[in-house]
Amino acid sequence: MCSMDDSELNEIKQKKEAEYKNQMDQAEQQMKLEEELKKNIRLLLEENAYDRLMNVKIVNYRLFVLASQYVLQSSQKLGGRKITEKELIDLLKYLKGDSGRNTKIKRI
């Protein structure tokens, strides 16, 4: 059997701790960026539209990112007006490539 001495074990332990710390730092940075994104989007969407977009985030993260980018990019064109829920639904359909499927979206 091959036995490791304490210095080898300590070196492995330090590497694992550094990897774990790096992953935690990345996760924390990602959370901060996402919170900043949500804060900015909240300013550009009506409340119902914001709620809907947060629901989309849960179901389809990629669509959420695309819609968020579009909302942020179009903010200057809106002239201070907030995007309505209907406009957001139309945007989501467009981004999703919904080609005539008859999906009914009901607000409860």
Q: For residues 105 and 48, give the distance between their C-alpha atoms in angstroms, rounded to a whole number.
A: 13
Tell me, letter by letter, the H, E, C secondary structure of 3-71.
CCCHHHHHHHHHHHHHHHHHHHHHHHHHHHHHHHHHHHHHHHECHHHHHHHHHHHHHCHHHHHHHHHHH
Show the tokens assigned to 43. 């300013």
Given a cut of 90, is residue 86 above it in pLDDT? Answer: yes
Average pLDDT, the chain: 88
Which superfamily, per CATH, for 10-96? Answer: PDCD5, DNA-binding domain (1.10.8.140)
Q: Kindly report, residue by residue over 20-71, the tens digit of the pLDDT.
A: 999 999 999 999 998 998 999 999 999 999 999 999 999 999 999 999 999 9
Q: CA quadruple 54, 57, 58, 63: dihedral positive or negative?
A: positive
Q: Using 50, 70 and 90 to split pLDDT, how confident is the model at 98?
A: low
